[in-house]
Amino acid sequence: MNFTWMAWTLPTALFFIGIFTLIAAMGVWEYLSPGGGPRVGILRFETTRGDRLFVSLLGSAFIHLAWLGLGGPSLWWALALSVVYAIGVFRFV
C-alpha cells in the first residue's frame, strides 16, 4: 500500500496505535465489567467510561492539532499533555 499521502512520523503512528489500543482495552473492560458505574463529575451530568474515553480522545485530537499549529511538528509534548488530560478526564469528569 502507498501511505505517502500522510506524514507517518513515529509520534503520529504512536498516537493512532494508542487510540486503537484504548478502544480495544475499553471493549475488553466493558465485556468483563458491563456498565462501568455511571457517575456525575465536574460537568454535572452523568458519564460512563465510554463517554470519558470519547471526551479524552476528542480533547487529545484538539491538543495535537493545536500543537501542530502553534508549536511545530514535534508531537512528544502534545502526547504527554494528552495523557495528562486523559487522566484528568477519567478522574474528574
Across the chain, mean pLDDT equals 87
The closest of 92, 90, 91, 61 to 78, measured between CA atoms, is 61
What is the distance between the alpha carbons of residues 13 and 59, in angstroms, rounded to a whole number?
A: 18
- Asked whether 22 and 53 are in contact (CB, 8 A), the reply is yes
**pLDDT score of 8:** 75
pLDDT tens-place string over residues 27-56: 898 899 887 778 898 888 898 888 898 999
| Rg of the chain over all Cα atoms, to the nearest angstrom | 15
Q: Where are the domains of the chain?
A: 10-33+47-92
pLDDT recorded at residue 1: 64
